[in-house]
Structure 1
């Protein structure tokens, strides 16, 4: 009688759900007992090949190690998340430059514009969530900080929402480069959301920590 064929194998049990170290040890002892019973009760005229026993043992060992590895990676992930949040707490109070869409809530937004050095003119191009250009605004043909007022061509405030803001560099009336405008604001909070570290900016917008391009001490105006 093949004991392993009449019951769920320890390898299948181990693969079904993560186990603690003690549970895996217990499963391994049970597996060895079942393997020994199988050897004792095999048909003498049709014995199981030794290679088959080796395969069963190797399969269980592989699953066992995979479960332990998954548990280890889960623990390391939690530790790294906590460590990252602790490090980012030092960013609070600093001014940041981040590559992210602009969350407009009716008040002017500080931005950093990048203009190609060969440009003789530049435009700020604003696109809404539907991909429609809602504003084109001439700006100085030089890189630096600007303030986007969030107004359409008629000077009326745009609706609150998320906008893509880019800078087109022109030379002789032709577009020679395009760069995304970067949000410039002060960090007031760092938090974990859905396993990701996010930063809350002074303007109320939240951005992923990975979107941060630069940090600097706050400008005191001195």
Structure 2
């Protein structure tokens, strides 16, 4: 089975909510206040000979009250989530300067090597590393051993010249004969320059400026060790 690879493989799972929860809460509170004002006005101006039936209004008032309480609970939970996120970010600040391993683009400065952690299919008899630039264009193909041993990519083209500095993505293609068994982005080691809140999660900022969620990291090492 072939797993397709697209340029969206490095998205950090950002939220695409159409409206922020704070705006939703504000709208619910505004509707509740408007309803109470209308109910009060109707009660003040009703015909005493034909008083209005308050059963329906009482039911609606109860429903709006429940919504208001739920909104307050949601705001409280969001506040707690934010505090937990900040605590996690503070705890992960020790990762700055370390090398994390995850599926991420690698930054090539013109001379540094990038450590790639391939994970080929067990049934493969050949493995190829496909290097893509920031636009997703293939710039190089390198034959690798059928092994999960780390590979040091030196950033040199087939003529021995260094490629342009910038971010590169690495795809591992596992084949058996002429059949492509698996195609997926490879994990690499990248230096953590900064930790930053990314929605409700902690994001790690790479040397190239990309954001990698801390939850996607599978290994951590000291580059000086």
Q: Which residue of 1 aligns with 2:105?
A: 101
Give aligned pairs, total.
199
Structure 2 Cα separation of the partners of residues 127 and 185 of structure 1: 17
CA distance in 2, matches of 1:186, 1:118: 32
Q: What do residues 101-128 of structure 1 show as CA deviations (whole Å, max 9, x unaligned)?
A: 2233323211111122333322111122
Does the CA-based 8 Å contact 2:96-2:195 persist in structure 1?
A: yes
Q: For 1:7-22, what aligned pairs fall within 5 Å after superposition? A: 15-16=26-27
TM-score (normalizing by structure 1): 0.70
1:60-102 C-alpha deviation (Å, 9 max, x unpaired): 4134214312421331122121121133234446542111122
| 2:128 alignment partner, SS class | strand
Q: In structure 2, what is the equivalent of residue 146 of structure 1?
A: 151
Unaligned runs of 5+ in 1: 1-13
Q: Describe the SS at the equivalent of 2:150.
A: strand
Q: How does 1:60-209 map to 2 (within 5 A)?
A: 60-92=64-96, 94-106=98-110, 107-187=112-192, 189-192=194-197, 196-201=201-206, 206-209=211-214
- Give the Å deviation of 1:204: 7.3
Please tell me the root mean square deviation across aligned C-alpha atoms, in Å.
Answer: 3.4
State which structure, 1 or 2, has the greater radius of gyration over its C-alpha atoms. Answer: 1
Q: 1:219: how far off?
A: 7.0
TM-score normalised over the length of structure 2: 0.70
Relative contact order: is structure 1 or structure 2 higher (C-alpha 8 Å, sep ≥ 6)? Answer: 2
